[in-house]
Structure 1
Amino acid sequence: MKITSLTNSHVKEWVRLLTKKGRDQQSKYIVEGIHLVKEAINSANVKVEHVVYSYEKGVPSELLDYEEQKWISVSNDIINKCSDTKTPQGIFAIVHKRNWNDTLLFEGSALVVACDAIQDPGNLGTIIRSADAVGATGVVLGKGCVDLYHPKTVRSTMGSIFHFPIIQSDLDDMLQKAQNRSIQILNTSLQAESNFYETDLTKASWFIVGNEGNGVSQELDQYVSKQIKIPIEGTAESLNVAMATTIMLYETLRQRNYRNN
């Protein structure tokens, strides 16, 4: 199929996917760029509806072996209209959202990051990517978080969004379930007395990470088993939430898999 008109019905649907309302209504989102499109195609549990590419640029060489019936060629004007980036690569995919069962978050030595009102797409994407990298069980997104399917969030996950469990739910309910199962629930505080590196992370653990400006909301404090402090030896006032989360995740990985005998 080839589309040249900006008023084509497909194009109108794709443009709406640049908004949260459009993504929610269609239960789909846009994946831009050669790398992410290839990741989506190669992910067994991802339903790709269409791959859309510029007929003026042609199919990227990295994707020539993947071209199928569901591919649509369009003009550069259409690519630009449907793109969130300043310099589009000339290819994007329409992908269906995926739902995960939250049961796995409470099993065995679960390692979960619970995000409370994380608002920066880059931070959220980095947290998801880091959690995937260490083999965490999953990430939970509570109210106030930036949309998981925001184009910048999707790009920041670098493909983790396609195969890593990410669940959007009410944190109050989820943390209560974790607490009822005697799962350790931790959050960071500059005022905490407990050193993070002296905390036992080999047992099931959930980290609550909060809003960039306000931290974790007070109503979630009731579920915290222990407040911990990541030591800061220099003059920096604090750490970026994505950086702090990555540090916690990798210390957990070290304790579980790489502790000296």
Structure 2
Amino acid sequence: MITSLQNEKVKQWTKLQKRKDRNKFGKFLIEGFHLIEEAYQSGWRINEIIIEDDVHKPSWFSQYPIINVNKKVMQHITMTETPQGVAAIVEMKELQIDREAKMLLIDAIQDPGNLGTIIRTADAAGFDAVITGSGTVDLYNDKVIRATQGSLFHIPVLSANLVEKIPELQADGFTVLASALENACSFKAVRVPDKIALILGNEGAGVREEIIRQADNSVKIPIYGKAESLNVSIAAGILMYAFVN
């Protein structure tokens, strides 16, 4: 059992709390039985499982190297206040897009809870992929991972330069719609095309103007009360489900 925070393994795991080190090693840490099982069932490569000694482990854990730690070490390497006593190191990978009909483009969304919830909703709504542009929070941020509730392992999430990607999608027959508040029509008035790319923007600034200009149309969700706007993850859910028909 590892009990010291100065252990080399513990130091390696702690490094994965930083984006630059996750990218350097091509690995990230997940915690909790649900996420580990989702990674396992989705075929992602698990390097090792870290578990507190008194925590019951399912039989399939035996397929992987298991490292026992005490509670102090677990609390040190994980980011939640009350960890479940189990974590795993998983290798990064990009899922392949099997079908391209419904794409979600993310322009500089910075709140990890928002991004994770949007990915989870895109998975639930049957979108084929999520493409994140520059300025977007790291996909493997622990709060993003937790907010996806495992959808990270189901739906392809790719990174791209949106200014370059949009013309490629249009050339491939996609209708590109940008979410905007000004000079936009109600999403209810849009005829749903066969191939759609929906763009969502930063929590404060929205979709960048240069990207809005590239889009085929801008859409908005009508506000009937006094709220100025909707949270971006809520708006994402409304729009994605409106466009899956």
Sort the TM-score into its range (normalised by shorter chain).
Answer: over 0.9
Aligned length: 244
**Alignment-derived partner of residue 47 in structure 1:** 45
Q: 2:107 aligns with which of 112, 116, 125?
A: 116
Q: 1:81 aligns with which of 56, 76, 82?
A: 76
1:232-254 deviation digits (Å, cap 9, x = unpaired) = 1111111111110110111122x
1:86-125 deviation digits (Å, cap 9, x = unpaired) = 11111111011112346x57x4xx1111001000000000
**Alignment-derived partner of residue 130 in structure 1:** 121
1:203 pairs with 2:194: yes
| SS of residue paired to 1:3 | coil
Work out whether residues 179 and 223 of structure 1, in 8 Å CA contact, stay in contact via their aligned partners in 2: no
Q: Distance in 2 between matches of 1:220 and 1:100?
A: 26
Comparing 145-154 and 84-93, the one that deviates more = 84-93
| SS of residue paired to 1:114 | strand
**Alignment-derived partner of residue 259 in structure 1:** none
| 1:78 alignment partner AA | V
Work out whether residues 95 and 155 of structure 2, in 8 Å CA contact, stay in contact via their aligned partners in 1: no
Q: Distance in 1 between matches of 2:172 and 2:61?
A: 48
Comparing 128-137 and 220-229, the one that deviates more = 220-229
Task: With the length of structure 1 as denominator, give the TM-score of the two structures.
Answer: 0.89
| SS of residue paired to 2:206 | coil
Runs of 4+ aligned residues of structure 1 deviating over 4 Å after TM superposition are none
**Alignment-derived partner of residue 90 in structure 2:** 95
Q: Return 5+ residue gaps in structure 2 as ranges.
A: none
Task: With the length of structure 2 as denominator, give the TM-score of the two structures.
Answer: 0.94
Q: Return 5+ residue gaps in structure 1 as ranges.
A: 257-261
Q: Distance in 2 between matches of 1:188 and 1:26?
A: 36
Identity of aligned residues (%): 37
| SS of residue paired to 1:239 | coil
Please state how far the C-alpha of 1:15 moved relative to its aligned partner.
0.2
**Alignment-derived partner of residue 132 in structure 2:** 141
| SS of residue paired to 1:30 | strand
